[in-house]
Structure 1
Amino acid sequence: MSDATFDDVLRIASPEADSQAEHGPVRIEEVARLAQVSPITVSRALRRPQMVSAVRRERIMKAVEETGYSSNPHAKALKSGRSDIVAAFVSNILSEQFSLAIEGLSDVLEAAGFQVALGRTSYSYGRETTLIRSLTAIRPAAVFITGVMELESNRTFLRNMGIPIVESWALARDPIDMLVGFSNADGARMVAEHFAAKGYRKVAFIGRSGGRGMLRLNSFTKSCEQLGLKLCRRISRDTVSGIPEGRQAMQDLIGEGSDVDAVFCASDLLAIGALLEARGRGLDVPGDIAIAGFGDSTLAEEIMPGLTTIAADTRKLGAVAGQMLLDRLQETQPEETQAGHAIRNIPLRLIERGST
């Protein structure tokens, strides 16, 4: 963890969150802030007081009395054992990496009697918000997210539920609760260093305009400047649902008559589409143009001439997330771990293949 770079994750302020905190019912977050503990510790103190130290328990009970807080239905459901659902939010169901993470998560949780329910956000704040609000009716035991929440209103809503939350796919300094991820900044830097070492000097970037795409672009841009590479072109997409977006991006790049000699695609789906389009137009890869991706999908090795990419063990990421949730749900974590943000890093590595 000490060697990984934290990502500068975007945070979007929301008047809705402020309005709810000011005019709505007392939230567990308010009790936690007053007692100077985490919302999870408040939940533990109310449900299993023996798990919390006497000093913290006294502060919490005083805060409960001052605010008039009453336990929410989610905590009651957990206490009675009625909830065995873990909600998992996935950005894109076509992504092999997300699927592997869900498999790893499910393997751990299902063996312990929990069931994973899947929701698709499609990189949309609107869909994300709708899914999060639906949790009131579902009453899940915990939540796993293939990403890091950016909207403060959604972060507040999830935090106030008082249930275990694991975010992923980035290294944020301030997760809602717990996090297992990797450094997007480091991955993009590794690609820039690889391009420089191979002698490429005029490069381009293809990726999503927000979220992790922006994290990777920012790091790639900075690294190119430091390494003396010229970033000639940036092509952004609002969403990435499959290979066609990569094909279209490469069409746009070639159509502009660009003389770039290497392209960093912020996902393997984009990179594979770009590679197919380049070869379909008679370009030699990497002789005419080199291509690198991010993700290490199965096709990265199978597609000719083989895709250079950044790899992370996403099945392990999911399994680690599942164990973090399970430890919290089964109350096997020590109190000091429950009270703080648990952050786990999944190392990245660059796999060089024929595309560069």
Structure 2
Amino acid sequence: MQSAQDENGSTVVYDDVLRIADADPPKQGHGTERQAASQRVSIGDVARLADVAPITVSRALRNPQKVSPDKRARIEQAVAQTGYSINPHASALKSGRSNVVLAFASNLMSEQFASALKTCAAVLEDAGYLFLVGQTSYSYERETAALRSLHAMKPAAVMLTGVIELESNRELLRGLGIPIMETWALPRDPIDMLVGFSNTEAGRLAADMLFRRGYRKVAYVGRRGGRGALRLQGFREGCQALGIRLVCEELVDDVTGVSDGRRCLSSVLARPEKPDALFCSNDVLALGCMMEARRFNVRVPTDLGILGFGQSDIAAEIPPGLTMIGVDSALLGREAGAMLIASLAGTPPTQKLKRLDLIVSEGGSL
């Protein structure tokens, strides 16, 4: 964790976001993704090599039966030599760039991500852009596969519900030469633009809230890596500073649904020393814990206080209602959309990093 003074003299706490080098870097001679980005092959390159018109190349790739065998053979050879692939977006065939903004969500089950993506989409669609969403499921493998498809798709911009940790993927995105929006964290070195907050501060705030409510034996439920690790770091620091006993940490690698939260609470309740309160650093996990508490007839907050992180209207409706720390996800999406629009219009914002304040949504679970 690092801190600095912002332009208003306030202390800004930055997350120490993990940067991960490639386990298997590109082999010598194959080039990097960044080099590939700067050496894109156009349909005109294929046409010149095959000694035909660009329209003939397009026709051969889409309706090969309409092109003579001789020309088709030359075009196929040129495609093989250049590695050319068809761009699926018609506008990209003409301009080299589409009007599509691609967003990658960590988990489409998350209400906080859905809220941010919805408001960001509204801003971009009003400006004539098409907003498409994929899911990475907190997986480096899926993230890498998704990002490697971007060269063929040629999006106008990319938004992510998180920050990119793999150095190879950071380089890949930089090499695209398009606006990149990261969110949900506060690193000092975003790839391009960022709207986020400090996850370590969120963890410390969680410890402070539990302390002020009288809890002295607590447990943590959250992801093992990424932003979950940052929240856990802050929670540990807060508990130690306040004299709270952190009796157990229930960590998961991926969050696929509420069943993960159910399993986590079952595991916590099976331990010899039971906590009197729980901090769930993920909204989907928090929802699962609330549901599992009802199944085990654990009274919340009489038997167990539960504090969540994120945004969950469903969890708020489960009696007695979930208290949560988070940010205004809809505001995050609007801010991200406005910054992307400015950058796409050729007038990128002077301040490419916007910090959001943490907020608390009160329920009866503490």
Q: TM-score, normalised by structure 2?
A: 0.78
What is the one-letter code of the residue matched to 1:274?
C
The residue number in structure 2 matching 1:352 is 362
Q: Pick from 6, 9, 16 the counterpart of residue 17 of structure 2.
A: 9
CA distance in 2 between partners of 1:12 and 1:157 (Å) = 14
If each structure's helix is expressed as a fraction of its own residues, which one has the higher value? 1
Cα deviation 1:258-292 (Å, max 9, x = unaligned): 22111100112211211222232122211111110
Instruction: Report the secondary structure of 1:10's partner residue.
Output: coil
What is the one-letter code of the residue matched to 1:280?
R
Give, in angstroms, the shift of residue 116 of structure 1.
1.0
Q: Could you say if the C-alpha distance between residues 28 and 289 of structure 1 is closer, same or farther in structure 2, counting changes exceeding 3 Å?
A: same
CA distance in 1 between partners of 2:125 and 2:37 (Å) = 30
The residue number in structure 1 matching 2:221 is 206
Deviates more, 1:12-21 or 1:158-167: 12-21
CA distance in 1 between partners of 2:17 and 2:29 (Å) = 23
Q: Could you say if the C-alpha distance between residues 239 and 15 of structure 1 is closer, same or farther in structure 2, counting changes exceeding 3 Å?
A: closer
Counting only pairs closer than 5 Å after superposition, residues 1-356 of structure 1 correspond to structure 2 as 2-14=10-22, 23-24=31-32, 27=35, 80=95, 82-333=97-348, 337=350, 342-356=352-366
Give, in angstroms, the shift of residue 296 of structure 1.
2.5
Any conservation in 1 of the 2:220–2:280 contact (CA below 8 Å)? Answer: yes
Give, in angstroms, the shift of residue 300 of structure 1.
3.2
CA distance in 2 between partners of 1:182 and 1:165 (Å) = 17
Any conservation in 1 of the 2:103–2:158 contact (CA below 8 Å)? Answer: yes
| Consecutive unaligned residues in structure 2, runs of 5 or more | 1-5, 39-86
- Count of residues in correspondence between the two structures: 308
Cα deviation 1:314-334 (Å, max 9, x = unaligned): 111111111111101101237
Give, in angstroms, the shift of residue 80 of structure 1.
3.5
- The higher relative CO (CA closer than 8 Å, separation ≥ 6) is in 1
Any conservation in 2 of the 1:159–1:176 contact (CA below 8 Å)? Answer: yes
CA distance in 1 between partners of 2:281 and 2:234 (Å) = 11
Any conservation in 1 of the 2:328–2:359 contact (CA below 8 Å)? Answer: no
Any conservation in 2 of the 1:191–1:350 contact (CA below 8 Å)? Answer: no
| Consecutive unaligned residues in structure 1, runs of 5 or more | 31-73
Any conservation in 2 of the 1:78–1:141 contact (CA below 8 Å)? Answer: no
What is the one-letter code of the residue matched to 2:20?
I
CA distance in 2 between partners of 1:277 and 1:95 (Å) = 18
Any conservation in 1 of the 2:26–2:32 contact (CA below 8 Å)? Answer: no
Cα deviation 1:9-30 (Å, max 9, x = unaligned): 1100126567689945874999
Cα deviation 1:154-181 (Å, max 9, x = unaligned): 0000001111101001111111111011
Moved over 6 A (4+): none
Q: Could you say if the C-alpha distance between residues 216 and 25 of structure 1 is closer, same or farther in structure 2, counting changes exceeding 3 Å?
A: closer
The residue number in structure 2 matching 1:55 is none
Q: Could you say if the C-alpha distance between residues 314 and 79 of structure 1 is closer, same or farther in structure 2, counting changes exceeding 3 Å?
A: farther
Any conservation in 2 of the 1:17–1:156 contact (CA below 8 Å)? Answer: no
Deviates more, 1:320-329 or 1:6-15: 6-15
Deviates more, 1:341-350 or 1:177-186: 341-350
Give, in angstroms, the shift of residue 313 of structure 1.
1.0
Q: Could you say if the C-alpha distance between residues 141 and 21 of structure 1 is closer, same or farther in structure 2, counting changes exceeding 3 Å?
A: farther
Identity of aligned residues (%): 48
CA distance in 1 between partners of 2:284 and 2:316 (Å) = 13
CA distance in 1 between partners of 2:334 and 2:28 (Å) = 34
